[in-house]
Amino acid sequence: MKLKKIKNIEFAQGGVCAAKGFKAGGIQCGLAHSGASVTKKKNDIALILADNICTAAAVYTTNKVKGAPIQVTKEHIVNGLARAVIVNSVNANTCNADGIDKARKMCSLAANQLGISENDVIVASTGVIGQPLPIEPIENGMKSLCESLSYDGNSAALEAIMTTDTQPKEIAVKFKIGDKLCTMGGMLKGSGMIHPNMATTLTFITTDICISAELLQRALSDVVKITLNRVSVDGDTSTNDMVCVLASGLAQNTKISHEDADFDAFRDALYTVMLNLARMMARDGEGATKLIECLCAGADTEKTAEIVAKSVITSNLFKAAMFGEDANWGRILCAVGYAQADFDIAKVDVNIGSEKGIIAVCRHGAGVDFSEETAKDILSQDEIQIYINLNDGNASATAWGCDLTYDYVKINGDYRS
């Protein structure tokens, strides 16, 4: 999948270990189901550790049912500070009477082994909802987990947070703040149960920038709205969604404490990281074969454009048509038509596109003649663009989704087994 970047930002290697002062690691402690291969179970618990205390910010799911780790993490970073992240897969630690106690226990186990305060530990979990989390494997594996930490341990940590993901999702970028070269890296897990309304999946981002906690939170809250919040795989919002950012300050830039050019440069880097993670997640939707990008332009407001774009990428009929490479543009217009926004459907134009080209399928709310053969060739690619113009203003927005395949049902028909 092609990465998207904006001005003055370069891609790098290393994921969450790319920025100065961050180690990561992951092991298989005994929680995991059968892994990616028949010979080795996958890692099921990960740790990120900063060399020093960091500025921290996070956003969380808005589902009324929330995983116990979310409550504990909120308590721990109320002061805007953190140093470590511990996260397990397989079990979401949600809807359990002892969930809070076990989330806190995970923090204390890590803190005691690392010699830091448990209040400086962010905790997260992902996996099956409603099953008690066995703490014994985590306790028994904590020493090995901490010993696995290294400045190039990003891949081991990333493997540990994956559930139904088929592809690793990580990225790192370099950018300038004043005369200082800064770095930011991130990793994400997410393939199904993706339809966010504040954050999405589990996403961990590290940077060596020096920035106040207030502005770090502001940047994260702003950028999540136009990246991860615009992804949908299946219309289900998870109970454990969390995005957190740790900033070590080791780039030694002048501290960003108010909104200025330096803040804008930082936010651009954060946007690049989160945009690409969002696209990776949509492309790796459960059972998916195609990334679908819907660009809605010509709206009276950005909100209208966002509502329309998300309406299209969440339509199951449209998603199924994309799997079948069927240019059934009526399904696009149908999804546009039931979007909860005000506009004149008689003004709407629709094009479909990919690397194979762009073709017009609808003008002024009505169909136009086009080659079905050409359209099928366009839709045969693994990245598809849907262009919608409301012809009602200058605002625009983009949303990302995927096709709906037979394998989505197979994966979710026996998720616990």
> Which of the residues are catalytic?
200
Strand order across the beta sheet in which 349-354 lies = 366-367, 357-363, 349-354, 383-389, 291-299, 395-402
Measured CA to CA, the distance from residue 387 to residue 33 in angstroms comes to 41
Q: Where are the domains of the chain?
A: 10-283, 291-413
Q: Which among 316, 277, 336, 331 has a CA at the least distance from the CA of 405?
A: 316
Domain range 10-283, CATH architecture: 4-Layer Sandwich (3.60)
Residue 113 pLDDT greater than 70, yes or no: yes
Give Dmax (Cα) for the chain: 69
pLDDT tens profile 277-317: 998 988 877 778 899 999 999 999 999 999 999 999 999 99
Those residues whose C-beta lies under 8 Å from the C-beta of residue 337, and which sit 6 or more positions away, are: 345
What's residue 37's pLDDT?
42
What's residue 306's pLDDT?
96
What's residue 39's pLDDT?
42
Helix axis angle, 329-337 to 316-323, nearest 10°: 160
Measured CA to CA, the distance from residue 250 to residue 20 in angstroms comes to 6
Measured CA to CA, the distance from residue 15 to residue 156 in angstroms comes to 11
What's residue 410's pLDDT?
79
Q: Which of 35-39, 372-376, 384-388 has the lowest mean pLDDT?
A: 35-39
In terms of DSSP bridges, do strands 81-88 and 45-60 run parallel, antiparallel, or are they unpaired?
A: antiparallel
**Same CATH fold assignment for domains 10-283 and 291-413:** no
Average pLDDT, the chain: 92
Of 237 and 372, more confident: 372
What CATH number should be reported for the domain whose range is 291-413?
3.10.20.340
pLDDT tens profile 42-95: 999 999 999 999 999 999 988 888 899 999 999 999 999 999 999 999 999 999
Are 236 and 285 in contact, with CB atoms under 8 Å apart? no
Measured CA to CA, the distance from residue 414 to residue 417 in angstroms comes to 6
